[in-house]
Copies of this chain bind each other. A is one copy, B any other.
């Protein structure tokens, strides 16, 4: 399968690299990183550059399209959203990680659909006619949305399981030794200590800017 992953300035690296690491490891899958212009893209922390190998115009036809989140994601309708509508018209799966779902929303692709996003951005899905769903990975038809940043790994494994079967997904999971053992219990607002949830809500620009 051909998988196109969108890059843009100030995107969050793990949103893209988590699913890439899963999806690219299944034999026969090919991944292309694409952006408005081919070339370097700086991630949100300012410390890492990823390279887009194709501009949107040059991107191959893709079976799977993936949109990562980022700091100040592109929410003003423009070329990215036009490209997403065209890519979605021929994709088998259209997917997002973190506030990437809001970008899909701006493109008009989540109207009437259940979807998720970073926990702090979840309610914004309503602005685009989607139904906010506080789950880590949400499938609705051909649309798969994942919660914040690290959740793209879970979404990509679930997608691999749907497309190629559970054995395919388990082989990749064992290959990347995805046997998570977080040293703390703080990965969601339901489990993190209240003061930490409150701190992030009051300093949300540390995490996401909308």
| Chain A residues within CB distance 8 Å of chain B | 12-14, 17-18, 20-21, 24-25, 27, 30-33, 40, 45, 47-51, 53, 98, 118-119, 136-137, 147-151, 153-154, 157-158, 161, 166-167, 169-171, 173-184, 186-189, 191-193, 195-197, 199-200, 206-207
Whose C-beta in chain B lies nearest to the C-beta of A154? Answer: B181
Whose C-beta in chain B lies nearest to the C-beta of A20? Answer: B48
Q: How far is the CA of A45 from the CA of B12 in the complex (A)?
A: 20
> By the criterion CB–CB under 8 Å, are A45 and B17 in contact?
no
Whose C-beta in chain B lies nearest to the C-beta of A166? Answer: B184
> By the criterion CB–CB under 8 Å, are A153 and B154 in contact?
no
Report which of B45, B153, B200 forms a contact with A24, defined as CB distance below 8 A: B45
6 A-B pairs in the complex with CB atoms less than 8 angstroms apart? A20-B47, A154-B180, A154-B182, A171-B186, A174-B188, A174-B200
8 further A-B pairs in the complex, CB-CB below 8 A; given A149-B176, A180-B187? A14-B17, A137-B181, A137-B183, A149-B175, A150-B176, A167-B193, A171-B196, A173-B184
Q: How far is the CA of A113 from the CA of B116 in the complex (A)?
A: 44
Given the interface pairs A18-B14, A21-B12, A31-B48, the reply to whether A192 lies near B176 with Cβ below 8 Å is no
Given the interface pairs A51-B49, A176-B14, A188-B174, the reply to whether A169 lies near B183 with Cβ below 8 Å is yes
> By the criterion CB–CB under 8 Å, are A183 and B158 in contact?
yes
Given the interface pairs A45-B31, A184-B173, A187-B180, the reply to whether A17 lies near B24 with Cβ below 8 Å is no
Q: How far is the CA of A65 from the CA of B55 in the complex (A)?
A: 34
Q: How far is the CA of A173 from the CA of B179 in the complex (A)?
A: 17
> By the criterion CB–CB under 8 Å, are A20 and B13 in contact?
yes
With a 10 A CB-CB cut-off, give which of A27, A48, A183 has the most chain B CB atoms: A183
